Structures are given as C-alpha cells and as structure tokens.
Structure 1
Amino acid sequence: MTAPKKPPSKSAPRPPAKPGTGRGAGPAHGHRAPTHGPQHRAPGHAAAAAQPAASAPPEAWADEDLDRLQALLDDVPAPLEPLDASMLDGFLVAVILQPKPVPLADWWRWVLDSEEGRAPPARFDAAPLLQLVQRRERELKQAIADRQWFDPWVFELDEDASPSETVLPWVAGFALAADIFPGLMGLDELQLTEPLAQLYMHLDPDDLEDADALLEEIESLEPAADLEEAVESLVRASLLLADVSRPLPAARPQRPGGPRRGPAPSRRPR
C-alpha cells in the first residue's frame, strides 16, 4: 500500500488549552476512552492470555509540561520547520508502529525539521526538547505494547471546526512518519485497510495515491459524530495497526488433563 503524499508540515493547530477552557481541568490531550469500558484486544487471542500485564500509569502531563514542549518546538531555529505538539504525537505513534524499531537518530531529525530532516545548527541545545519527546515516546510505546487506550494530543480549534479538522494535525503527523518509514505500509494491505481508513478519512482524498481499496473503505465510513468519537477512532485504529505490525505472542496452549506427573520415585528393597 502506498503512503499518502507528504502532508503539509503545519495544519494550524492551536496551542494547548489553559485550565478552564476547552476540555476542563488538565491538559487538552483529547478525550480519554473510559477505563472501565471494553479494551481493545488482539484478534484471535484469548482475553486473559493475550493481554499483557498493564504497566503502572505514566505521570500525567500538566499544562505547564505541554506549554514547555510547544515552546521548545517553537524555539527550533529557522530555516528548520519543527513539528508542533499534535503532529509530533501522531508522528511518534506511526514510528512506534513500524514492524522494526526505528533508531532515534533516524526519526529525531524529522521532529526538528519536518520538511527535509535537516540537522539543527551546532549552537542549538536540543537536549531539553529531546527529553520531553522521549518521555512521550515511552508512554505511547508502553500503551501500544500493552494494548491500552491513550490520550492523543488533539487540541480544540475554534467552535466552527469539524471533528476531522480538529484531528487533522495528529493524522498529518502520523502520515508523515508512515511516508518517511515505509515498513508499516509495506505489510498486508488487507489487514491495513480498515484501521488506516479510520485515520486517513480525515485527509484530503487527493493526497492518497494508488489506494483504491483504501478510498473505497473510507467512502463506506460515516463521519465522526463529534470530536470525542473522532479522537477515540485514532486510538482504536492505532491499536488495530499494532496487531498487524507488532502482534502479541500467541498464548501457549495447555495440555489437556492438567499437568503431567513425573515418574514415581523408586523404592529400594530393605
């Protein structure tokens, strides 16, 4: 399957909402799927056997953390075009979903320059930014490995913005990484089509090349009723893609009749 054309590096997302605006208390990460609801599970696996043990929940991102991250991204010197926070989040998910791990040096340069992956000037200290980006990468990697729901960094735009317009920066970041690192898109098209359609339905159809099956699947989907539904579909699609590119190990079947007993100990004649 061919990745979409390189999306625009900027989709005008707004900075994180302040407390009391947008989503209420806490950083505006998007809507979290209910933790008590049904979790995504890898198809074909028993519920208990296939599901990895959940890790301890990561430290929540405060508004100040997100503000600092966005400020550090904004401080990347010209002519580099860094990702913004929402695009970064989608980008990291697509990197994590690659069938083979992508070295840090290969993807980090695209965070700093989404246009050409150019290196920053020697005087630029990228360490504080890298620390925050890797913190988010670890969180996403653990959530995806555990098949747990996560909060995509989707920030509300103006009141007139549709759900698709609001999640577009996140999807554009995902599509950028899928284009740069083609391993994911080179997997079984039949397995990729459904989850990719849930993501790429928010892109311009003209940006999808040689993707007739994908376009057909997109046309069969109903637009998201609201932003919460659109955000949850990002998570659902990401976890479905993880089942394709990073499948969980199959549960080891148990032998019928319970465990076998070893040979009875021999008795010495007295």
Structure 2
Amino acid sequence: MNRLTMPWDVVRFELRRSFTPARMAMWLVLVAFPIAIIATMRTIANAHLADKLDPADFVEPFGVTLYFLVPEVTCLLGLLLWATPAISTEIEGQTWVYLALRRSGRRMVLFGKYLTAVIWTLSAALVAISASVFLIGTDVMLRMWLVMSALAVLSCLAHAAIFLLIGVVFYRRTMVAAVLYTMVVEYGLSFVPALVNKFTVNYRLRGLLATWMGWEDVRSNAENIFGSEPVSTHLLVLAAITITLLGAALYRVENAEYPTQQEG
C-alpha cells in the first residue's frame, strides 16, 4: 500500500464501516438536535414576538445560539465519538499488532482516522447549519451560513487533533479523559476572564464569530468571552493548536508500546 494513499484508504474503509444503523442514528441525532432547538425558538418568536421585534433583531440571538449548538456542541460530540477512540478500538479489536508491524503504518492509520473523524462530524455539522439558517430566515442568511460553516471546519480540525492526542495518551480511559477535558477546558476555562482562556479553541472560535458577523455590540458587552484580538491572531492560534497537537499524537503513536488484548 502506497504511504501517500494509505490515509485515504483508511478514510474510505472507515466511512464504509460507518453505514450501520447505530452510527447512522448517531449522525441523525447530531443533525436533528440543533435543528429542533432552532425550530422551537423560531416558532416561539413567531408566536409571541413577531409584532414587537424587527426581523433584524433575531439575527444575534439566533446566531449565537446556532454557534453554541453546532461548532461548540455538535462538533465536539461527533469528534468525541470518532476521534477519541481511534487507538482503543484497534487494541480492543486485536488489530493493533498488525498496524504496528507496518512501516509508517501507525502514523498513516492514525492520520486516516483523524480525517475520517473530521469528515464524518463536519458532514453532520454542515447539514445542521444549512437547515438551521434556513429556518432562521434572516436577510443575512448567506453570511451566517458561510461564517458558521467556516467555524465548524475550524472546530473540527482543532478539536479532532485534541481528542486524537487524548486517545493516544489515555488509551485505557479514553472517553473519561476526553469528557473531563471538554467540560473543564472548553466549557469551563474558555469562559474564565484570564490568560488561560486564550489558549482554548472555543475562545478563538467565539472571537471569529463576533468579528466575521460584525457583532461589535455583543463583543463590547462580553469582551472576556468573545475577545478583542484580530482575525489573524485567532487563526494563527488555531493553526498552532491543530498542527502541534496532531503532530504530538502522530509522534506518540509511532513511539508508544501499547499492550495487546492478551497482554492487557
């Protein structure tokens, strides 16, 4: 197998394997959850607030809600299910020993699983964003769709690298470690008004949201949450997080000695 095409062979294999009732059901849940919330909000707004608010007043609250539902929730849940157990599933399935014997097999398979997690999760996120933006139905639909889609892409790339590294290091308690990281760091420290929150992915995504949507009033009311740095800073930090942690995961998996099921 060619080393350059091996990751894509892994992607094709993993995606074919994902067309099972259980995995398709998980995909549908990830898609339906934000759509249901947005549809409910839109129904309530139409019923009780239509005479009091201008349609433009719906943009910010609906946009912020959609951001939290998809780039911060849907993307993280999807990656939690796909990226985190990349190594543990191979160990439990007793296939790790065959991958470890191949030259560069470990890195190529892990990178292929990274791409699979991003593609699978991003597909659900983009469908949810498209349907939700249509339901919101504001005059900035195209702009909102482009911004939310870009944030979903960045969220998937960065968070997949984080969860992959967690799965490589904590292969015995993978899901526990990933959930703890998510709750403590991304949903905890990212809202703390201190230097530490600037190293979290969600802080950078919220800063890009406020800038790209032109929500300066939202930023001014919650600068500690949405930040004040320029777009270039947010993108550079996200790129650094993604490349560094993905590289660390690939290095770790190449040099680690994982037990087989018989040895464990």
Give the TM-score normalised by the residue count of structure 1. 0.30
Q: Which has the larger radius of gyration?
A: 1
Greater helix share, structure number: 2
